Amino acid sequence: MKKIKKWQEIIFALFILIFILIILFRFAEIKEITLLIKQVNYFWFVIAIILQFAVFAALAGLYKSILFSVKDKISFFYLFKTAIAMLFVDHAMPSFSASGNVLLYYAARKAKIKKDKSALVIGLNIFINFLFFFIILIFGLSYLLITQKFDSWILFFIIVIFLICFILMNRIIWTKTGRCHFESVLSWLTHKFPKAKKRTLAILSNFYNAKKEFNKKRFFLLFFYVFLVYLFKILVITAIFLSLGYLINFGILIVGYIIATALSLASYIRIGVYEASMTLGYSIMGIPYNLALTATLLYRAVSFWLMMLIGLILFRNIIKKNK
């Protein structure tokens, strides 16, 4: 029954993707898009692929740095493979990135990393990624406010929501009161699933135990790795636009990326939502619609579909070795 349900979710996700693509192409000129694709500069396209692998290398560096801070050794290449496999798991089992972090936890455990330190990796990974995304969100929204692309009240509302989320996350991770409240919420959410509740609370307890050993002086190093992650992601999009012969404005580039990422994070199924969000985001910012759609499709081909295929292979490899 679980396999049938999973296939139903996959079919539904593909249906959503096809439906959204039909709508997107309805307002596009197929001949112009075909011409843009035929004229792609392969040098910049290959650079985009290399930069996409650099994203996962930076993620592996982040995970390794967290584990190094608590004096555990693990192969960089193993973490690199895990980072790519996480992308596959996140989309194959939609769960607002929870499934990918679960894979990271078990990959660390199978590499003989202790439970508390494996939990520390996923906890700090979630926290510092949210922190940095919040920073670039503020940058992007400030750019929109200065250029008056959107209503200031809408931007203020978005900033307040993310600020509240950041404050709550900060309290959960660094304060005892926040921990108690978070454990209560998790207990309530998982009370119908005793086994899941037990495992979730155990991982949370392991995280707080390992956090005591974490050297806060290395937090800036973690921040640097996350900076590299987002820098490489943005450079991938830049290379894609350059492959189409278009030099995109830096502010517009970041805003389009933020819109796509924020809306896809808020969506249970990201496939299709990301494509629509990025295309509409860039077109709203003044980039020709056909160019925005073509760039989005090429970007997703590099950052998603190609990596999903590689991620599937690496995921099977990790699971096989785990057995």
3-state secondary structure 254-304: HHHHHHHHHHHHCCCCCCCHHHHHHHHHHHHCCCCHHHHHHHHHHHHHHHH
Q: Where are the beta strands (DSSP E) in 151-279?
A: none
pTM score over 0.85: no
The two three-digit tokens of residue 42, written as one number: 């392969």
b vs e for 27-40, b when ≥16 Cβ sit within 10 Å of the residue's Cβ?
Answer: eeeeeebeebeeee
Decide if pLDDT at 175 tops 90. no
The reported pLDDT for the residue numbered 243 is 96
Cα–chain-centroid distance for residue 65? Answer: 19
Tell me if 25 is assigned to some domain.
Answer: no
Of 6 and 110, which is predicted with more confidence? Answer: 110
The reported pLDDT for the residue numbered 95 is 64
The reported pLDDT for the residue numbered 9 is 61
Number of compact structural domains in the chain: 1
Q: Which residues contact 139 (CB under 8 A, 6 or more apart)?
A: 254
Tell me if 258 is assigned to some domain.
Answer: yes
The two three-digit tokens of residue 49, written as one number: 């692929």
The two three-digit tokens of residue 259, written as one number: 């819109």
Q: Which residues contact 23 (CB under 8 A, 6 or more apart)?
A: 276
Residues above pLDDT 90, as percent of the chain: 25
Tell me if 33 is assigned to some domain.
Answer: no
Decide if pLDDT at 3 tops 50. no
| Residue in 77, 74, 40 with CA at minimum distance from that of residue 57 | 77
For residues 85-111, average pLDDT: 81
Tell me if 274 is assigned to some domain.
Answer: yes
Scan for tokens 């999973």, then name that residue: 6
The reported pLDDT for the residue numbered 70 is 47
Of 226 and 187, which is predicted with more confidence? Answer: 226
Of 13 and 306, which is predicted with more confidence? Answer: 306
- Considering the chain, what is the average pLDDT of its residues? 81
Of 174 and 187, which is predicted with more confidence? Answer: 187
For residues 265-294, average pLDDT: 82
For residues 275-285, average pLDDT: 86
Tell me if 156 is assigned to some domain.
Answer: yes
Q: Which residues contact 180 (CB under 8 A, 6 or more apart)?
A: none
| Residue in 81, 94, 96 with CA at minimum distance from that of residue 322 | 81
Of 249 and 181, which is predicted with more confidence? Answer: 249
For residues 88-99, average pLDDT: 76
For residues 258-277, average pLDDT: 75
Contact 17, 269 (CB under 8 A): no
pLDDT tens, residue by residue, 216-232? 777 788 889 999 999 99
Decide if pLDDT at 252 tops 90. no
b vs e for 221-233, b when ≥16 Cβ sit within 10 Å of the residue's Cβ?
Answer: bbeebbebbbebb
Tell me if 17 is assigned to some domain.
Answer: no
Of 240 and 26, which is predicted with more confidence? Answer: 240
**C-beta neighbour count of 262 within 10 angstroms:** 17
Tell me if 68 is assigned to some domain.
Answer: yes
Decide if pLDDT at 80 tops 60. yes
Per-residue confidence band for 17, with pLDDT thresholds at 50, 70 and 90 = low
Of 272 and 119, which is predicted with more confidence? Answer: 119
pLDDT tens, residue by residue, 30-53? 888 888 888 999 999 999 999 999
Decide if pLDDT at 144 tops 80. no
pLDDT tens, residue by residue, 158-167? 667 777 777 7
The reported pLDDT for the residue numbered 42 is 94
Tell me if 32 is assigned to some domain.
Answer: no
Range scoring the smallest mean pLDDT among 12-21, 222-231, 287-296: 12-21
- Contacts made by residues 18-25, CB under 8 angstroms, sequence distance 24+: 18/272, 19/272, 20/272, 20/273, 20/275, 20/276, 21/272, 21/275, 23/276, 24/275, 24/276, 24/279, 24/293, 25/293
Going from the C-alpha of 102 to that of each of 121, 213, 278, 305, the distances in angstroms are 11, 22, 28, 22
Q: Which structural domain, as residue segments, surrounds residue 246?
A: 43-322
- Looking at residue 213, the DSSP 8-state letter turns out to be T
Handedness of CA 279, 92, 118, 303 (dihedral sign): negative
Contact 100, 315 (CB under 8 A): no
Decide if pLDDT at 156 tops 70. no
